[in-house]
Amino acid sequence: MGRLAACALCALLVGASGCGEDDPAPAPWLLDPALPMPTWLSAAGIYADRLTLAPADGFVVYEPPHPLYSNRATKQRLLWLPPGTRIAVGPDGWGFPLGAVLVKTFAYRHVEGRFGDVAIETRVIRRAADGWQYGVYHWDEGGDEARLAAPRWPEARFLLEDLNGSDFTYVIPGELDCEACHATHGDPPVIGLGPGNLDPALALDRPELFEAPPAADPLPARSEPERAAMSYIVGNCAHCHHGAPRGDNASFDLRPAALVANTVGVPTESSASGDGIRVVPGDPAGSALYEAVVSARDPGYAGDFKPMPPVGIVDLDREAADILADWIDSLEAE
């Protein structure tokens, strides 16, 4: 029996009563940033009901306008701020209060009544007393409990069945992988909740979360295909490609204001990578950027580019391939 089928069966057998209501009072680690993340998700007080992924009181659901694609997973994102605290909205970006917690649960569409999906992993980022902490909970097959992976737990791989019954390898990253995207993004390491990636509903409906009304940075796109490409690149590339050299991560800037100037007609520069022009107007297949995102993920690919993004993705994002091709084609008319 495939893992999803097993999950579905367990979920049906366990039923709604298998996931008791958590205590409505905030869990101790949420109120005291010196306490470690609990080993069990049931003790973390994030979900009022783990079967339906109904969040506990105080957790706010949000949706970034420029999301990261992750192997067709459905994602649910939550924010928790300690009582009485707010997000600081400053000219140089946002500041999250001590004790702020962000959660992202990855699920696969399969079981009715469970957020439509089977939860696989729940990732947590927290602003603790000694800096930002990362944790990842691995869900059990019954879908009613998840355990925090040990800090240096390596990535976990297993086969999942997708909606069409095909197997594919799913990878839960280890903690070092979290830092590859989040720590390189800068401070704060929160990527999907900030001026460049602000859920408009959060800004409108939850002003009490912010010290001042938050404003989104609009995308400086000149056309609809360019807007779509910028949105995809903000969500999937700019947390590494942000112009500042950090460790071994690429520094060339793909943030919206720099995207066109740094790609159209510009040669690649990484010694660890292939040679080419990043974007050749009208020629997606001849553009290094398209080659890195699309062609390099083909199992038969024999070129020099590493697939982009280099971590967190195992299958090709077909929608992204179309978005990038449309944008590169649209540049020919300029």
The footprint of ligand HEC (CB under 6 A) covers 64, 67-68, 77, 102-104, 123-125, 134-136, 173, 177-178, 180-182, 190-193, 233, 235-237, 239-241, 249-250, 252, 268-270, 272-273, 278, 288-289, 292-293, 306, 308-312
| Cα 221 to Cα 91: distance, rounded to the nearest angstrom | 22
**Residue number, 11 or 191, with CB nearest to ligand HEC:** 191
**Residue number, 8 or 268, with CB nearest to ligand HEC:** 268
**Residue number, 143 or 192, with CB nearest to ligand HEC:** 192
Give me 98's structure tokens.
Answer: 């001590």
Torsion of CA 309, 107, 134, 209, to 10 degrees: 100
**Residue number, 55 or 64, with CB nearest to ligand HEC:** 64
| Closest approach of ligand HEC to the CB of residue 172, in Å | 7
| Closest approach of ligand HEC to the CB of residue 70, in Å | 7
CA separation, residue 189 to residues 101, 131, 185, 318 (Å): 12, 11, 6, 28
Q: Among 72, 73, 93, which residue's Cα sits nearest to residue 190?
A: 93
| Cα 264 to Cα 287: distance, rounded to the nearest angstrom | 9
| Closest approach of ligand HEC to the CB of residue 186, in Å | 11
Q: Among 310, 302, 196, 204, which residue's Cα sits nearest to residue 255?
A: 196
**Residue number, 85 or 270, with CB nearest to ligand HEC:** 270
Torsion of CA 59, 60, 65, 71, to 10 degrees: 30
| Closest approach of ligand HEC to the CB of residue 16, in Å | 27
| Closest approach of ligand HEC to the CB of residue 5, in Å | 26
**Residue number, 219 or 250, with CB nearest to ligand HEC:** 250
| Closest approach of ligand HEC to the CB of residue 155, in Å | 9
Given a contact cutoff of 8 angstroms between Cβ atoms, the answer to whether 285 and 142 are in contact is: no
CA separation, residue 17 to residues 14, 49, 52, 133, 143 (Å): 7, 10, 12, 33, 12
Give me 240's structure tokens.
Answer: 């590494």
| Cα 155 to Cα 177: distance, rounded to the nearest angstrom | 8
**Residue number, 11 or 146, with CB nearest to ligand HEC:** 146
Give me 4's structure tokens.
Answer: 């999803």
| Closest approach of ligand HEC to the CB of residue 68, in Å | 4
